[in-house]
A and B are shown apart, each in its own frame.
Chain A
Amino acid sequence: MAMFTLQINGKEYRADVAADTPVLWVLRDHLGLVGTKFGCGIAQCGACTILFEGNAVRSCVLPISAVKTSKITTIEGLSENGDHPLQIAWDEVDVPQCGYCQAGQIMTAAALLKRTPKPTVEEIDNAMHGNICRCGAYHRIREAVLSAAKKI
């Protein structure tokens, strides 16, 4: 066990955990940030996606020891009032079915729009392909990303 200091959503958090603990479980079990979801644990579904220095990263395979001083953003910190253009689009397009995958979808899309503010459908599909939505809400996910991109 060791004490780690983390920069998450603009705040400083401390966690006393083993060095190999994935950030996903630090967030969920130790810091009470449960918006980041567990889906597979092996970097295959995208449910656990967070922003790591602005890049979409699978937190289920990111050991806390690798974080160091890097800045992390989770769904809880994507915007102050839930009004990031993607969050607004997600509501307007009425994307969620069960909703479980959606935090990961939004975080992946957030990284995409940061990199590529006006993505083509193909670019969206490529970026979002790693995120599984078991409910099959893919059409609306795509539509919501396009709609958010228009407003950014």
Chain B
Amino acid sequence: MTGGGLLLRFSWFSAEAEIPAVMTKANFIGELGINSYLSIATDGTITIFSPNPELGQNIMTSFPMIVAEELDADWTKVKVVQAPLDTQKFERQLTGGSGAIPHSWKRLRTAGATARYLLMAAAANRWKVEPSECTASNGFVLHAKSGNKLGYGELADEASKIAVPAEVPLKSRKDFKIIGSSVRNVENKKIITGKGIFGLDFYREGMVLAMIQRPTAFGTKIKSVDASAAKAMPGIIDVVTFKNNVAIVGKSTWEIMKARKAVKIEYEKDGNIESTSDHDRLFVSLLNSDQAKVRRKDGDVETAFKNAAKIVKSEYQCPFIPHNPMEPMNFFADVRADGVELVGPTQTPASARTATAKLLNIPEDKITVTITRLGGGFGRRLKFDYVVEAAELSSIIKKPVKVIWSREDDMMGGSYRPAVRYRFEAALDEKGNMVGYKLRGVGINVNNSTREDNFPSGAVENLLIDSVEHISPITTGPWRAPVTNFLAYAEQSFLDEVAVAAGKDPVQFRLELLQKARMNSVGAIKYNIDRMETVIKQAAEKSGWGTKKGVSQGFSVYFSHASYVAQVCDVVMISGKPAVKKIVAVSDCGEVINKSGALQQVMGAIVDGYGHAMYGKLTFKDGVPGEKNFGEYRLIRMKEIPEIEAHFIDNGIDPTGLGEPALPPTGGAVANAIFKATGIRLKNQPFIDQPLYNSAKKGF
């Protein structure tokens, strides 16, 4: 926008609500380029910089929708641009924890409303009428009495000279036109025409490519490297060893892939070398450890279990799983004397920069980070190992380099969802009331594998939740809905077991517990009882709970990332095997910003949750992952998806995130339905490895 216009500086993320300041033409020229602004050009084009990395959660569409709503903008004139890392202007410029929308809701609305206020004031000045007589709609300010009408572009320059008010009124939700509607992904066009928008597509004149051989077994380090043959191969520029990495640097991917096979590397032991069978043994012993850390303790569990009429006890286990974003890890780095340029897909650009600055021992302001679109993340790109590694390599070879991971590198390269085992115990009295509850979590590299304040905590008089950790050289990290992606399944399956043991309907059983938490709560309650109750009741109603002939239903409900989701799974038996037919989900994430995006998140999360519960596993033999690519590692495919019906609670509460919350309940709903259909309780993931499915294992 060189021809003037309105440039509104606002903070998407600052902790204190910052008062937006209009920038005049004179001072924005110096600022033009990288910024957090909403700008309105004189031709009416509205540009909004989107700070958060986009990995499919659709934030590049939903954030601007909120601004455009309050601005009464013409959505077709809104342009969205991915902002690079700028810690001065943005706070929380990361994607994770389903946290962006709740964090920014008010700020985005205020930004849009402020711009609208200024545009209306400018129009009123021009027409010499009271601003209160003007209205704004679809990119225009209107004056009904005189029939005057001016576009935002025509008013932008004048608006930029008006002082910003300290407070602006926000719309009432009944006037929302954009929020709550279905708006298509703003990058659809680029995606469906094959534009190079992902990190792996990045190209810079003069750059070289590299692949890195990392130790194939966790717990080993390089002993010797012989790269002489590889170095002589066509297209190879160099082979360099740093830390535990052997980087093959070359001109083209295929030449590098071929040369890589010719590098001879010997490794030696450098820590524990573990196998899945070791973990299985460890889990058993740690479940009986006296080293567990108490996470929550209410009442007196010992007495409760001693006096119980009935005790239910059960254990659940999940394996490691890799994230497997469709776009493998990659990053571009150009380390020069005058500064460092980093370009690529990251969920956490700021931490990546801090780590790079530390490694290279240079100030952070010498490093720029450009965020490309991410071909998925699922938590993997919250880690920045692959960014720092690219920077280190560039600093060694003194060249701009794009480091590419193969699928095998990606799957074997670590940072997995940790393997966990849980033991649950419930004490019932004569009437079938749950009067005691124990949960112990044993996780590999998870400090706390429980969520001690989640339901049913608060509804049981005597409760003990604790956890033990085993430290392993196998690297782990957050995986979409960390901890709860498996805990929810285990817990919701166990509650189903307890309901069955108590002779109660699973839905009724949960509602009774909630009622108890409401009337007679025990200790702190960190979930909203009414909201949880509402999604439970709605899910039961929408799914026809208990009314369908020939269909076995399973129930599950979970509160995570500040949202509530209940699910009912329908299973029917087909030639002696349970077939998952349908999943009905009712989500309460407060105000739904983008209906299309929200549906996508819920449906995608359910497919993800179901797919991984059903098929996902990464096993280890002597520190080496047993599954290396999609040949052995099974991901859910089109023929395997159930029908999904997603509903939302329309309560107008400030929005919470939706990238994760619909995933945790899925495994439990499915397992409970399968139990109903077969009498078999699936206690280990993946389900496909359980005896029930063994014969159906092949042929995907």
Contact = CB atoms under 8 A, between A and B. Distances in A.
A and B bind: yes
A79 to B, nearest CB: 8
Nearest to B201: A34
Interface string A25-36: 100111011111
B544 interface: no
A6 interface: no
A112 interface: no
A94 to B, nearest CB: 4
Interface string A52-82: 0000000000000000000000111010001
Candidate in B191, B201, B630 with the most chain A CB atoms within 10 angstroms: B191
Contact of B638 (A36, A41, A125): A125
B639 A129 contact: yes
Interface in B172-201: 182, 184-185, 187-189, 191-198, 200-201
Candidate in A34, A98, A138 with the most chain B CB atoms within 10 angstroms: A98
Given A99-B375, A136-B604, A139-B644, A87 B192 contact: yes
A99 B327 CA distance: 10
Contact of A75 (B193, B324, B611, B639): B193
Contacts of A47: 326
Given A21-B254, A41-B407, A96-B187, A34 B603 contact: no
B644 A87 contact: no
Contact of A133 (B58, B182, B326): B326
A50 to B, nearest CB: 11
B324 A134 contact: yes
Nearest to B596: A94
Contacts of A118: none
Contacts of A35: 193-196
A28 B638 contact: no
A34 B196 contact: yes
A17 B254 contact: yes
A30 B253 CA distance: 10
B193 A100 contact: no
A125 B56 contact: no
B549 interface: no
Contacts of B378: 134
Nearest to B607: A136
Contacts of B191: 96, 99, 102-103
Contacts of B255: 18
Interface of A is mostly: loop
Given A34-B194, A141-B638, A100 B327 contact: yes
Contact of A29 (B189, B252, B641): B252
A14 to B, nearest CB: 15
A132 interface: yes
Interface in B582-638: 596-597, 600, 603-608, 611, 629-631, 635-638
A36 B629 contact: no
A41 B58 CA distance: 28
Contact of A45 (B187, B600, B606, B630): B630
A134 B630 contact: no
B374 interface: yes
Given A40-B630, A76-B194, A96-B188, A25 B254 contact: yes
A25 B254 CA distance: 7
A47 B635 CA distance: 14
Interface string B376-393: 111000000000000000
A30 B252 contact: yes
Nearest to A77: B194
B678 interface: no
A85 to B, nearest CB: 12
Contacts of B195: 35
Contacts of B374: 98
A136 B603 contact: yes
B326 A37 contact: yes
A36 B56 contact: no
B192 to A, nearest CB: 5
A31 to B, nearest CB: 12
B55 interface: yes
A81 B324 CA distance: 32
B416 to A, nearest CB: 15
Contacts of B630: 39-40, 42, 44-45, 132
Nearest to B606: A136
Contacts of B603: 136-137, 139-140
A75 B635 contact: no
Given A96-B187, A97-B56, A134 B325 contact: yes
Given A39-B326, A137-B604, A100 B254 contact: no
Nearest to A139: B603
A102 B196 CA distance: 13
B234 interface: yes
B185 A96 contact: yes
A142 B636 CA distance: 15
A1 B193 contact: no
B635 A132 contact: yes
Interface string B317-346: 000000011111000000000000000000
A25 B250 CA distance: 14
A139 B189 contact: no
Contacts of A25: 252-254
A129 B209 CA distance: 32
A90 B190 CA distance: 12
Given A25-B254, A41-B406, A132-B326, A98 B193 contact: no
A106 interface: yes
Given A29-B252, A101-B326, A128-B638, A94 B188 contact: yes
A97 B376 CA distance: 8
A18 B254 CA distance: 9
Interface in A102-151: 102-103, 106, 124-126, 128-142
A17 B66 CA distance: 50
B669 to A, nearest CB: 16
B203 interface: yes
Interface string B224-242: 0000000000100000000
B423 interface: no
Closest 3 CB pairs of A and B: A35-B194, A136-B607, A100-B375
Given A28-B201, A38-B253, A92-B184, 9 more contacts: A29-B209, A29-B252, A30-B252, A39-B326, A44-B631, A97-B604, A98-B376, A102-B192, A139-B603
18 contacts: A21-B254, A29-B209, A37-B375, A40-B407, A40-B629, A44-B631, A94-B188, A98-B374, A99-B373, A102-B191, A106-B192, A125-B639, A129-B638, A131-B637, A132-B637, A134-B325, A136-B604, A136-B606
